[in-house]
């Protein structure tokens, strides 16, 4: 197997898997896009270098991030510099990349022994082409081979065209043959715009090093050589090159050949460059040769790069305009071709050199065996199309988004394991549409679920409200008892006062001021009775507005309802609370919680026959919360039911006595409605219920945090 030397390096870690490298590659099959990163087959690469430029563009022009990079002989060249036996051969395109005279001086400062112009090798090539054609020993068309990427492409993909490759070396090969006759023991380095020249030198062994312009620029920087500060230098050529200094431009060969041999019809020389060479031209040319068409050209002036060698993969002039690049090369060619004396010397040089030296080049080989592309059967092709979601004519877009020129070539790549159906743009589009539909369906389902949950939420809130109200109604009998206790003393006082008034009247002891005083006392007691009724009516209202209130007020309102009942049962009530900040809460519901806890304590005193019953209510503010602790000495809660007392319908009072909803509702009110905490623990003498509610300021902060989320 013929191992092709590397000209393109891969850094897989930087690969974006964008497939731009495949899109610009003339070969396509040298890249494998079937995985997470694009893999690279060096033996199928022609070395044009287009993928490097595409990769850099995909990384926004940052060369260091590119997954592909050029490989030349920079390091080997630097290692040989100290030996002092290097001769440089400078490509014509150097004119559009450097200040050429100063470049010559810079090369000598590096330690280069001599510097020659490859344009002189192009003069040899034109002369040799003409002699070959005139000899009649070569069957046209003659395919010019200054471009090694073109040569390698023909060797890999169009072996039938190999016999038509020029039997004469490229300009740099020809100059190397000549320079070797002058410097037989020295090493030659080509100052180059082209990566693929490294492959040519691997085949011919004519030149030892291929150093691209990019690397040379780095070398100058590393050696602190500033070209702009240098004096101009001259080539060591025995004679200067002429019109062929434009050989690096598209059509440079054609222009040079017609300039020297004007009797040749321009129609006999085809000029072609760029992607169309690979996409169409060689297929057409091979077919025309096979058919023996009469319109076959005499010479094919063909280059891989759109702008010829002037903007090759190794160049450094991408910042310049096309006009500036072409002007730099063409103006030199125009000046070089004006000197008739130099032209005469050059012709004498060419004739002598061609007689004395062998410029023949036959280092071509059929590499098509490396191209092992398999073709799918019609059935296999249809299955691949199906995998790519292509069912109708409109699905075959040939959009090239995958990197291939048509859906057919993409399918072939998939069949050969060089890509996958998932990379087809249509496949991704249809999959996205599926996902979009699935997401829309999911959104519809979520909306329906949200509506259902909202309905359930409102139903639950309604049921909770009913439960709260029912809990109040269930306790109404006890409340009536509390009202009786509330009214007992005022009614007794009213009765006594009324009796006194009757006595005063009967004894004719009527005094106006005394009557007014007694009537005022009766009115006050009646007003107290009315306020008591209002308190109870307010408690039993079904609506439950949220309000800003002091905790003291809620506790005191609760005690106006149950206080007399506790007093009647001889319960000692101790109040130790002071609150300065308001809370945002539901006062009625909070009163119900206090009533439930106080009523349970009152019942515990009776059940446990506590001789000196006592309830202590403590209240304080800490850590953004207002805390109320209600202590009793009723004996506490048995340990085996401590974790059940907040369960719904759990009661220790027996059937028909307790509903089992009091503490359950209290827990729900505090923790769900009021965003607080309700806990219970036993003390040495009884139980302690602790209620913690956020202060208004702290609740506002939490509300803002929740809204931020």
> Rounded to 5 degrees, what are φ and ψ at 274?
90, -170
**What are residue 86's DSSP bridge partners?**
187
Q: Which regions of the chain are under pLDDT 70?
A: 1-2, 467-490, 492-493, 524-525, 528-529, 531-544, 653-660, 697-709
Q: CB within 8 A of 480, min separation 6: which ones?
A: none
Number of H helices and E strands in the chain, helices first, is 23, 18
What's the Rg (C-alpha) of the chain? 51
Please report the pLDDT score of residue 699 as a whole number.
Answer: 53
43 to 2, 393, 548, 698: CA distances (angstroms): 8, 36, 82, 72
Q: CB within 8 A of 32, min separation 6: which ones?
A: 38, 39, 40, 41, 417, 418, 419
Please report the pLDDT score of residue 301 as a whole number.
Answer: 96
Q: What CA–CA distance (Å, rounded) separates 409 from 414?
A: 9
> Rounded to 5 degrees, what are φ and ψ at 18?
-85, -15
Structure tokens at 111: 């330690």
Q: What CA–CA distance (Å, rounded) separates 657 from 359?
A: 121
304 to 154, 186, 256, 405, 588: CA distances (angstroms): 12, 31, 19, 18, 89
Nearest to 614 by CA among 684, 679, 662: 684
Structure tokens at 116: 């020659």
Is 313:48 a contact under the CB 8 Å cutoff?
yes
Please report the pLDDT score of residue 270 as a whole number.
Answer: 96
pTM over 0.85: no
Is 418:31 a contact under the CB 8 Å cutoff?
yes
442 to 435, 453, 457, 638: CA distances (angstroms): 10, 16, 21, 51
H, E, C per residue of 33-63: CCCCCCEECHHHCCCCCHHHHHHHHHCCCCH
Is 577:498 a contact under the CB 8 Å cutoff?
no
Q: Which class is domain 541-709?
A: alpha beta
DSSP one-letter code for 98: S
Q: What CA–CA distance (Å, rounded) separates 225 from 139?
A: 50
3-class secondary structure, 166 = coil
Q: CB within 8 A of 202, min separation 6: which ones?
A: 4, 5
H, E, C per residue of 384-399: HHHHCCCCCHHHCCCC
Q: What CA–CA distance (Å, rounded) separates 273 from 91?
A: 19
Sheet holding 142-143, edge to edge: 142-143, 299-303, 269-273
For 272-302, write each residue's pLDDT tens digit: 999 999 999 999 999 999 999 999 999 999 9
For 87-113, write each residue's pLDDT tens digit: 999 999 999 999 999 999 999 999 999
Domain residue extents for the chain: 115-187+232-370, 541-709
Q: What CA–CA distance (Å, rounded) separates 547 from 544?
A: 9
Helix (H) / strand (E) containing 139: none
């Amino acid at each position: 197997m013929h191992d092709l030397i590397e000209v393109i390096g891969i850094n897989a870690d930087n690969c974006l898997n964008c497939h731009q490298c495949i899109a610009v590659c003339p070969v396509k099959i040298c890249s494998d896009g079937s995985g997470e990163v694009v893999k690279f087959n060096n033996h199928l690469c022609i070395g044009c270098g287009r993928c490097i430029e595409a990769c850099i563009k995909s990384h926004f022009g940052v060369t260091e991030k590119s997954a592909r990079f050029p490989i030349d002989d920079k390091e080997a060249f630097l290692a040989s510099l100290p030996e002092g036996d290097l001769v440089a051969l400078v490509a014509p395109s150097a004119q559009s990349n450097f200040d050429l005279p100063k470049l010559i001086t810079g090369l000598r400062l590096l330690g280069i022994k001599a510097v020659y112009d490859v344009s002189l090798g192009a003069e040899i090539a034109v002369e040799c082409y003409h002699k070959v054609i005139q000899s009649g020993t070569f069957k046209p068309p003659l395919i010019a081979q200054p471009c090694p990427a073109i040569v390698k492409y023909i060797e890999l993909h169009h072996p039938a065209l190999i016999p038509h490759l020029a039997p004469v070396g490229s300009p740099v090969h020809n100059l190397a043959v000549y320079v070797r006759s002058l410097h037989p023991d020295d090493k030659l380095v080509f100052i180059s715009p082209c990566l693929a020249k490294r492959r040519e030198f691997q085949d011919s062994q004519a030149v030892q090093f291929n150093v691209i312009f990019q690397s040379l620029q780095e070398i100058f920087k590393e050696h602190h050589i500033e070209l702009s500060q240098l004096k101009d230098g001259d080539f060591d050529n025995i004679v200067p090159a002429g019109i062929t200094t434009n050989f690096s431009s598209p059509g440079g060969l054609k222009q040079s050949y017609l300039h020297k041999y004007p009797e040749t019809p321009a129609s006999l020389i085809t000029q072609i460059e760029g992607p169309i060479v690979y996409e169409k031209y060689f297929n057409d040319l091979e077919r025309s040769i096979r058919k023996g068409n009469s319109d076959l050209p005499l010479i094919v002036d063909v280059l891989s790069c759109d702008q010829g060698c002037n903007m090759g993969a190794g160049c450094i002039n991408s910042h310049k305009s096309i006009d500036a690049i072409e002007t730099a090369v063409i103006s030199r060619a125009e000046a070089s071709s004006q000197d008739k004396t130099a032209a005469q010397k050059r012709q004498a040089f060419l004739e002598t050199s061609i007689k004395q030296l062998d410029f023949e080049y036959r280092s071509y080989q059929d590499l098509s065996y490396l191209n092992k592309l398999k073709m799918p059967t019609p059935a296999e092709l249809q299955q691949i199309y199906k995998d790519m979601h292509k069912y109708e004519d409109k699905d075959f877009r040939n959009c090239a988004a995958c990197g291939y020129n048509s859906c057919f070539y993409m399918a072939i790549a998939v069949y050969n394991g060089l890509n996958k159906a998932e990379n087809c743009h249509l496949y991704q589009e249809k999959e996205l549409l599926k996902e979009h539909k699935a997401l829309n369906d999911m959104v519809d389902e979520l909306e329906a679920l949200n509506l259902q949950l909202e309905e359930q939420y409102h139903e639950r809130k309604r049921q909770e409200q009913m439960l709260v109200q029912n809990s109040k109604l269930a306790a109404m009998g006890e409340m009536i008892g509390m009202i009786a206790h509330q009214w007992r003393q005022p009614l007794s006082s009213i009765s006594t006062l009324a009796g006194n008034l009757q006595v005063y009247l009967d004894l004719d002891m009527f005094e106006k001021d005394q009557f007014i005083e007694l009537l005022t006392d009766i009115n006050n007691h009646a007003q107290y009775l009315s306020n008591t009724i209002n308190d109870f009516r307010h408690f039993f209202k079904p609506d439950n507005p949220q309000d800003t209130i002091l905790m003291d007020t809620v506790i005191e309102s609760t005690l106006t309802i149950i206080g007399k009942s506790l007093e009647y049962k001889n319960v000692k009530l101790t109040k130790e609370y002071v609150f300065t900040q308001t809370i945002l809460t539901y006062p009625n519901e909070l009163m119900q919680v206090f009533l439930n806890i106080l009523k349970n304590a009152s019942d515990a005193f009776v059940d446990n026959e506590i001789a000196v019953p006592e309830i202590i209510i403590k209240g304080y503010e800490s850590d953004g919360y207002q805390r109320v602790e209600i202590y009793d000495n009723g004996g506490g809660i048995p340990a085996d039911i401590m974790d059940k007392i907040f369960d719904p319908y759990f009661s220790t009072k027996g059937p028909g006595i307790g509903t089992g909803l009091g503490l359950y509702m209290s827990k729900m009110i505090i923790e769900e409605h009021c965003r607080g905490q309700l806990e219970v623990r036993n003390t040495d003498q009884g139980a302690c219920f602790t209620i913690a509610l956020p202060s208004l300021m702290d609740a506002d902060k939490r509300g803002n945090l929740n809204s931020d989320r």
